[in-house]
């Protein structure tokens, strides 16, 4: 069975926390709490990237979660086509580690171009069991 939910968030700093809570509540509701911490952190990083680098003229971003079989897929949709770049932050940098964290926590991740505008940054997480909602 495939479970899927999505929610649009406005281009405001508090939306990142709201996106984390949306993901947590969804995963608990599906009975998939074992990867919640990893997925919450990835939601936070990808939503922050969408907010800071991916939104055009106060456009917000969309978070989509899908559970099928033993995999949760997280997608963050934004309105800019510019692809994110993973970089090596040094010890004094206060940012620049988000995609490194996503790559470390997710079982897979990538970027998909959308038309006519924007992109989807996605990540997948293997779970112990399928969605039960």
Q: Which two tokens stand for residue 97?
A: 């580690």
Pick the CATH number of 2-126 from 3.90.550.10, 1.10.287.70, 3.30.565.10, 3.40.50.2300: 3.30.565.10
List the chain domain ranges. 2-126
**pLDDT tens across the length of the chain (133 residues):** 789 999 999 999 999 999 999 999 999 999 998 899 999 999 999 999 998 887 777 789 999 999 998 999 999 999 876 655 555 545 554 445 578 889 999 999 999 887 677 899 999 999 985 444 4
The model carries a pTM of 0.84
Short-list 67, 9, 10, 11, CA closest to 36: 67
CA-closest candidate to residue 105, choices 36, 31, 3, 22: 36
């Amino acid at each position: 069975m495939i479970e899927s939910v999505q929610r649009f968030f406005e281009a405001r700093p508090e939306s990142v926390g709201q996106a984390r809570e949306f993901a947590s509540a969804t995963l608990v509701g599906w009975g998939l709490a074992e990867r919640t911490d990893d997925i919450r952190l990835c939601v936070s990083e990808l939503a922050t990237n969408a907010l800071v680098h991916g939104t055009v003229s106060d456009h917000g971003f969309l978070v989509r979660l899908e559970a099928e079989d033993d995999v949760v897929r997280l997608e963050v949709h934004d309105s800019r086509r510019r692809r994110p770049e993973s970089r090596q932050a040094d010890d004094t940098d206060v940012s620049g580690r988000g995609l490194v964290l996503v790559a470390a926590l997710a079982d897979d991740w990538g970027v998909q171009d959308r038309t006519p505008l924007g992109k989807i940054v996605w990540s997948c997480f293997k779970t112990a069991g399928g969605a039960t909602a």
